[in-house]
Amino acid sequence: MNTDNLFKPFTLKSLNIKNRIVMAPMTRSFSPSGVPTADVAAYYQKRAEGEVGLILSEGTVINRLSASNDANVPHFYGDAALAGWQQVINGVHAVGGAMGPQIWHMGIMDNHHSGWLPEVPFEGPSAFNRPGHENGKAMNEADITDAIIAYGKAAADAQRLGFDCVELHGAHGYLIDQFFWDGTNNRNDIYGGKTLAERSRFAIEVIKEVRRQVGKDFAIIIRLSQWKPSDYNYKMAANPEEMEAWLKPMADAGVDIFHCSQRRFWEPEFEGSDLNFAGWAKKITGKATITVGSVGLNGDFMAAFAGESSAPSSLDELMRRMDRGDFDLVGVGRPLLADPFWTQKIREGRSAELKGFTKEALGTLVID
């Protein structure tokens, strides 16, 4: 199999990366009181040493008291956490890598199994995180304005610390996605509405504020998913026209790269074409896209959370789509948890040495 196109450099504004492999954002919960430790820095540095082109950090939360449901998820605000992130990016750059933080607000959450709770109730567009499941409060206009400012501040801090880009987490049922979805947004004001385009107003204001803070030359990625944690087959945009009405305004607001989250990258987005989500997003917006979802593995990540292992699998179908120009970059998650050198092994064709994924990889930060 020819993987040459995976190993071509990629440049877009502030991003200059040596290949097309992107480490997918993966929450690790190893940052006590929200502060990334030296082990967290070593973990990311090792993936950069292993030749990952662009590392996206685990979700790291903005400065809102209820942005997180987990005391060990890193903050992207406050002197101690930002000093931790400074060590992370310095370590990644020292070995020739590139990295952006995934900027996150979880929105209305279920309570974490640890029992930890934020000081104030969870907040979201409406009080629930799936139809019929209330666990917080609806944000008022002042909350929304403050959250938008907090996203912008986090992006400005990322740029100041020397990160190469930022990613906004707009996927997987968290705050931005809760605004998108009519199942979690029943507001009657300008942040609600009957159409997906109307409910995108919060995302667009966040993107504009982030763009205002970082200037025109800093790369902004947004991660989106059609699926919801409560419904893996859900499609917010039911056809290409609805997808265009959703994505184009975000591109116009300042998004450079759409990171299109699927569980399995080979699944077509709409009937009548084999294009996946990243393929459609690129075709519709003309922007660069990242595909992701079971690259190089034979089982998806929801199965991983249920404790299932996944064995290595061929990259033929990935390369068929990449060589055709469907997407620019390729997100890889679970293979990099236990194997920092996955990228190097792929480049050198050492497929017999690939490790796949087992649930033990979730329990520790593998640094060697």
Ligand X SMILES: Cc1cc2nc3c(=O)[nH]c(=O)nc-3n(C[C@H](O)[C@H](O)[C@H](O)COP(=O)(O)O)c2cc1C
Q: Which residues are catalytic?
A: 174
182-186, long-range: CB within 8 Å, 24+ apart, which pairs? 183/130, 183/131, 183/228, 183/230, 184/107, 184/108, 184/124, 184/125, 184/126, 184/128, 184/129, 184/130, 184/131, 185/125, 185/126, 186/125, 186/126
Task: Please identify, using beta-carbon distances, which residue of 136 and 299 lies nearer to ligand X.
Answer: 299
Cβ(332)–Cβ(296) under 8 Å? Answer: yes
Stretch in the footprint of ligand X (CB under 6 A) among 83-91, 271-279, 283-291, 330-338 = 330-338
Shortest reach from residue 117's CB to ligand X, in Å: 20
Q: Measured between alpha carbons, how far is residue 179 from residues 48, 251, 330 in Å?
A: 34, 18, 27
Is 228 among the residues that bind ligand X (CB under 6 A)? no
# binding residues, ligand X (CB under 6 A) = 24
Phi (first) and psi of residue 342, to 5 degrees: -55, -45
Cβ(342)–Cβ(30) under 8 Å? Answer: no
Helix (H, G, I), strand (E, B) or coil at 151: helix
What string marks each residue from 235 to 274 as x (binds ligand X by CB under 6 A) or -? --------------------------x-------------
Residue 312, Cβ neighbours under 10 Å: how many? 20
Stretch in the footprint of ligand X (CB under 6 A) among 116-124, 152-160, 183-191, 293-301 = 293-301
> Which of 36, 53, 293, 312 forms a contact with ligand X (CB under 6 A)?
293
Task: Please identify, using beta-carbon distances, which residue of 287 and 334 lies nearer to ligand X.
Answer: 334
Cβ(36)–Cβ(61) under 8 Å? Answer: no
> Which of 101, 254, 333, 356 forms a contact with ligand X (CB under 6 A)?
333
Distance CA 202, CA 205 (A): 5
Shortest reach from residue 211's CB to ligand X, in Å: 21
What string marks each residue from 8 to 27 as x (binds ligand X by CB under 6 A) or -? ----------------xxxx
Task: Please identify, using beta-carbon distances, which residue of 127 and 340 lies nearer to ligand X.
Answer: 340
Site residues (CB under 6 A) for ligand X, limited to 64-123? 102
N residues, the chain: 368
Shortest reach from residue 336's CB to ligand X, in Å: 8
Task: Please identify, using beta-carbon distances, which residue of 244 and 300 lies nearer to ligand X.
Answer: 300
What string marks each residue from 158 to 187 as x (binds ligand X by CB under 6 A) or -? -----------x-xx---------------
Q: Where are the alpha helices (DSSP H) in the chain?
A: 38-49, 79-94, 141-161, 175-180, 196-199, 201-214, 240-253, 277-285, 301-305, 316-323, 335-338, 342-347
Cβ(126)–Cβ(79) under 8 Å? Answer: no
> Which of 53, 59, 74, 125 forms a contact with ligand X (CB under 6 A)?
59
Task: Please identify, using beta-carbon distances, which residue of 159 and 291 lies nearer to ligand X.
Answer: 291
For residue 190, give every residue at least 6 positions away whose Cβ sits within 8 Å of its Cβ, in sequence order, or none: 201
Task: Please identify, using beta-carbon distances, which residue of 300 and 339 lies nearer to ligand X.
Answer: 300
Is 366 among the residues that bind ligand X (CB under 6 A)? no
Q: Which residues bind ligand X (CB under 6 A)?
A: 24-27, 58-59, 102, 169, 171-172, 223, 261, 292-295, 297, 300-301, 304, 332-334, 362
